[in-house]
């Protein structure tokens, strides 16, 4: 979950890697850095789920 920590180069590496796949059905969604120890708690999970649902509704055409 440190991918989006301030100063991390991982988001750019991930974007570069997925763009090289040339597959328009592969998306990147980066959750904000949670800055709390351990596995995400219930409220953090719910916030990520809401963000993921919104992202899917906006980008995936069924």
pLDDT the model gives residue 62: 84
pLDDT the model gives residue 5: 94
> By the 8 A CB rule, do 30 and 11 touch?
yes
Q: Where are the domains of the chain?
A: 2-59
Q: What is the C-alpha to C-alpha distance for residues 14 and 33, in angstroms, rounded to an integer?
A: 16
Summarize the confidence of residues 11-40 as an average pLDDT.
95
Summarize the confidence of residues 17-43 as an average pLDDT.
94
Question: How big is the CA angle at 55 (ends 53 and 58), to the nearest 5 degrees?
Answer: 110
Q: What is the C-alpha to C-alpha distance for residues 23 and 39, in angstroms, rounded to an integer?
A: 31
DSSP designation for 24: T
Question: How big is the CA angle at 14 (ends 41 and 55), to the nearest 5 degrees?
Answer: 55
pLDDT the model gives residue 1: 65
Two structure tokens written together for 29? 């969604």
pTM, to two decimals = 0.82
Summarize the confidence of residues 2-11 as an average pLDDT.
93
Q: Give the tens place of pLDDT for each residue, 32-49.
A: 999 989 999 999 999 999
């Amino acid at each position: 979950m440190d991918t989006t920590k301030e100063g991390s180069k991982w988001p750019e590496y991930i974007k570069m890697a997925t763009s090289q796949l040339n597959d328009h059905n592969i998306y990147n969604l980066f959750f904000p850095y949670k800055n709390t120890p351990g596995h995400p708690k219930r409220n953090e999970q719910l916030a990520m789920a809401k963000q993921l649902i919104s992202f899917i509704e906006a980008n995936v055409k069924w």
